[in-house]
Amino acid sequence: MSTSNSRVTSVLELRRKLPFPLRGLADLAYNYWWSWSSNSTALFRDIDPQEWEVCGHNPVSILKSAKYERLTQLLEDPSYLEHISALEKEFDNYINQKDTWVNRVAPQVTRDNPIAYFCAEFGIHESLPIYSGGLGILAGDHLKSSSDLGLPMVGIGLLYRQGYFHQQLNSQGWQEDYYVDNPFREMPIELMKDNQGNPLSIELIIRQRIVKVQIWRAQVGRVSLYLLDSNREDNDPIDRWLTGHLYGGNQETRIAQEVVLGIGGIRALTILGIEPSIYHLNEGHAAFCTLEIARQEIECTGKSFYDIEDNVRQKCVFTTHTPVPAGHDVFSSDLMDSFFAHYWHQLHLSREQFLALGARRLGDPWEPFSMTVLALRMCRTSNGVSKLHGQVSRKMWTVLYPQLSEKEVPIGYITNGIHAPTWTAPLMADLYCKYLGSGWKNHTIDPKMWAKVDDIPAEELWWRHKILKERLIAYTRYKVKQSRIKRGEEEQRINATNFLLDPNVLTIGFARRFSPYKRAYLLLQDVERSLRVFGNTQYPVQIILAGKAHPADEEGKRIIQRLVEWYKHPELLHRVALIEDYDIYTGQKLVQGVDVWLNNPRRPLEASGTSGQKVCFNGGINCSVLDGWWCEGYQAGVNGWAIGEDAHTSDQELQDRIDSESLYCLLEEEIVPMYYDQDANGIPHRWVDMMKASIRTNAPLFNTNRMVTDYVSQVYVPEISTSVKPILAKFKV
C-alpha cells in the first residue's frame, strides 16, 4: 500500500510559519540528526532559552510557539543566518552521502531490503520520552551509528502516550510517581497517512477485540523509526491505553504490548511496503514478530509451519540483555490461551505445538511461555552484550541444548558501546578536533587516532574538564532547588542550594536505575566510614546521585529513602546531591562533568552497562565492579579502579561487606590522594595522565560504530554469519 509523505506535510506546515531565511530550521527540527551534529542545539535554544527548557528541548515546539517578532529579530544577526546556512549544507551532505562505510564493506544490505530493528524502548533524545534506561539508550545509539555508517535500517517500537513515569520525592524522601501526556503533534514525529490523508493503521485481535494501531515516524539521520500507537478514538477505551505506559501495568498489559510490538510491527512494515532482509530482536519483548513472519509466509505459500520454520530463522537475529532468568518475560499458558487461541490455527499448529515454541522444558503442562526461549528458537544467531554476559547466557540457557556442552551453546557476544557524538561534550569534541583531527567522529574505532590524546597539554584538558564540572554543579544546584521549591521546603533550605557542591572538590557520579542489585546502598554499609570520606574537610569528596526505582519496586524506593536520610547528616550538608526525574539530558551533564564514575552492581548481574563508557569520552575515570563491559575495559593501575577485584562469594551480605571495604580503601588510599596531588597551578598531573588513559584505551573499543560494524560482519551479512541449528527437537502432535 503506498503512502503519502507525511513528513513533507509536517515540514511544509512548519516552514510556512517561519520567515524565509529561517525555513531550513523546519527540516532540521524533524530529523534528530540535529541532536548530535555540531553546535546545532544553539540554533533552537537561542530563539527563546527559557521556553527551550520548558518544552523539554523540543525543536518543533520551540519553532511553533515562537513569536514572529522574535523570529524577525534573529534575521538581523548575520552570524545566526550563517550558522543556519552552514548546518543546512552539512545536513544535506550527510543525508545524501553515497560513499558510506556500509556501501564499501557490505553493499548487499540495501535500502530496498533494510535491517528491521525491534525494541520496546528507544532513547533518542529527551524530547522523545519513550525510554526508561539502558536498553532504550543503547537502541537509540544503535540507530544513530547505523545512520552514520550508512547501514540501511528501520526501527520498530511503541509510541507511549505517557512514556515512563516521572519521579518526585516527598519530604520523607519517598519516591512518588506521576505521568504526563506526551504532546505527539508538537513533537518531532509525523503521523503516517495514506494517499487519502487518513492515518495509516493496522489491525490486531487482542482480548477478542479488534484493535487499530496507527503508525508514527521519527527520523534519526538516515534511519526511520516507526512507532506504533493504539490511542485512537475508534478503539475501546481500555485498548487505547495499550501503548499508554512503558513497563507499566500487569502481565496482561505486558503481553498485549508485546503483541503490538511483535505482530503489529511486522504488519506495519508490510503496510509501509518495507521488506527487511534481517529482523533484529533487541531483547525478547519483540519475539512474537517471528510468529507473524511465519504466519505471513504460510499464508503466501500454503506450507506448514515446520516447512517454513528455517526460512524464518534465517531472517531473524536476537540480542539478549538480561543475565538472570527472573528478568526474562514469561507468560502463563492461560494468558497465552487468552491472547493466541485465534492465532495458532493460522500457523497450522495445535495448542501444544504452539506453547512448545516458548517452553524451557517440554511435556510440562504448567511450563510458562518464555519470550527468550521463543527468540532463541526462532533466530539463527543469538548474542549477549559483553564477553562475561555471553558466558552467563550460555550457562543460563544450556538446558535448551542438552546435546551440547556449556561452551558449545550457540550464544555469542557483541559488547555494547555508545554513540560518541551524542555523549561527548561539545567542549571535549572541540578539543578532539584540535588534537585528533576535525574528522575524529568518523574514526572512533581507530586506536592510532586516540593515541594522539597523549599530545594534549595537561593544562588544556584539565581546564576544559573543570568547566564541564562547573556546568554540572550549576545544573545540579538548579535541579535540586526546583525540587525543594516544589516540595514547599523552608526558604533557608531552598537558599542553601546556592552553596551545594564545590567545583574544586573531587566529584563522584552515580546514576542508574535504583534496583537492589545495582547496590546504591554500598557506600552506606559503614555509615561512619562514609562520613569520614565525604565529610573530610582537608580532602573533601562529593557525590551526585540520580535515578529512578520502578513504581512496583518497594525495595528500590527504600534505597532512595536511605540515601536521602544519609545526605541530610550535618557533615554532608553540601557534599551530596540527588537529582530527581533522571533523563537523557541529566545523564549527559553527569557523564560529561564528573571526575569519577561509580558503578557497583552485584556480579554478574550487569549485562554490559554503558554509562561508564560515556564518561570515558569526556575524560572521566571509572571505579567499578569487574562486571559487564568493565571486565574488558579495565587495565589495572592505568585507566581506572576495580572494586573488590576478583573476590567472589555466593553470600550476598559478605560480598557487600567485601566490596564496600574495597571501595572505602580505594577512595582513601588511591583516588583521593591522587586527585589532590596537584602542582602550584592546581593541576593533578597523575590524575590527568589517568584521564588520558581512560580516553585512549576505552574510546576506540566502546563506541557504537565499532558495535554496529561487529553486528554487520558477524550477524547481519549472511556470507559472514554462522547459521545455528534449531534448539530442541520439533514438537509435533
Q: What is the pLDDT of residue 8?
A: 61
Nearest alpha carbon to residue 4 among 267, 213, 192: 192
Asked whether 397 and 377 are in contact (CB, 8 A), the reply is no
Q: How confident is the model at residue 718 (pLDDT cuts 50, 70, 90)?
A: low
The mean predicted confidence, pLDDT, of the chain is: 93
Q: How confident is the model at residue 323 (pLDDT cuts 50, 70, 90)?
A: confident
Asked whether 623 and 671 are in contact (CB, 8 A), the reply is yes
pLDDT tens figures, 469-489: 999 999 999 999 999 999 999
Q: How confident is the model at residue 730 (pLDDT cuts 50, 70, 90)?
A: very low
Q: What is the pLDDT of residue 721?
A: 46
Domains 108-277+284-317+331-358 and 420-703 equal at CATH topology level: yes
What integer is the mean pLDDT of 82-98?
A: 94
Q: Is the pLDDT of residue 312 over 80?
A: yes
Q: What is the largest CA-CA distance in the chain?
A: 81
**H or E, element range at 212:** strand 209-220
Q: What is the pLDDT of residue 187?
A: 96
Q: Is the pLDDT of residue 406 over 60?
A: yes
Pick the CATH number of 108-277+284-317+331-358 from 1.10.3720.10, 3.40.50.620, 3.40.50.2000, 1.10.1740.10: 3.40.50.2000
Q: What is the pLDDT of residue 6?
A: 55
Q: Is the pLDDT of residue 708 over 50?
A: yes
Q: Is the pLDDT of residue 731 over 80?
A: no
Residues 6+ apart with CB under 8 A from 207: 239, 252, 256, 338, 339
Which triple of cell numbers denotes residue 389? Answer: 554476559
Q: What is the pLDDT of residue 573?
A: 87
Q: What is the pLDDT of residue 36?
A: 96
Least confidently predicted of 209-218, 310-319, 650-659: 650-659
CATH number corresponding to 420-703: 3.40.50.2000
pLDDT tens figures, 570-584: 989 899 999 999 999
The full set of domain ranges for the chain reads 10-96, 108-277+284-317+331-358, 420-703
Cβ-count burial 269-300 (b if 16+ within 10 Å, e if not): beebebebbbbbbbbbbbbbbbbbbbbbbbee
